[in-house]
Amino acid sequence: MTISATVVKELRDKTGVGMMECKTALKESDGDMEKAITYLREKGLASAAKRSGRVAADGTIASYIHAGGKLGVMVEVNVETDFVAKTDEFQALAKDLAMHIAAAGPSYVKREDVPDDVIQKERDIYKAQLADSKKPADIMEKIIAGKLEKFYAETCLLEQPHIKDPEKKVSQLVAETVGKVGENIQVRRFARFKVGEE
């Protein structure tokens, strides 16, 4: 079966996938555009882990306004292509993240975003709490490390237990969606507004 360059280009424009992969997908799908898209997504699903280093420069900004208009969230979620940015799975993830941020109130996206001075301040507080415990220094350091892990789980979005499924971290929810859409997904930033809050 001969696949025209025009059809290959159309599939490439829709998916953002390379020309050769598009041509192969169309051949495998007997020229059926929808089947070719499904084929590419299934193929992408198998290589989702390889995509984590790829640039996620497209995406969406999702918002959530809580009933009564007293609390609102905006979150930017990035993905590799405009095609995936428009899929139901990706849009659902972005909305889910906005709702989670509204409910859980994280301060940072990931632990790497926490400033060193904030971490040091937490460590100083934990040391002061343990000052009278007379525990050996190595044990105190382990306790402080454990408390820091708890701090990350409370303040970093990707480390928080998901509000709909507390057995799962938000990072796992993102990873599952990466598996479904076959592209790298990054939560770039968010803003949470509450009436009267500084």
Whether 58 and 97 share a structural domain? yes
pTM of the model: 0.69
Q: Token digits for 20?
A: 């050769």
Token pair of 116 as six digits:
């060193």
Beta-bridge partners for 187 = 77
Could you give the CA distance from residue 82 to residue 71 in angstroms, rounded to a whole number? 29
pLDDT tens string 98-153: 999 999 999 999 999 999 999 999 999 998 888 888 888 888 889 999 999 999 99
DSSP state of 56: -
99 lies in the same domain as 167: yes
Count of structural domains within the chain: 3
Query: Residues 28, 89: one domain?
Result: no
CA distances from residue 110 to 67, 98, 116, 157, 159 in whole angstroms, order as listed: 28, 15, 13, 6, 7
Domain of 64, CATH number, reads 3.30.479.20
Angle at 134 between CA 131 and CA 139, to 5 degrees: 90
Q: Give yes or no: residues 160 and 137 share one domain.
A: no
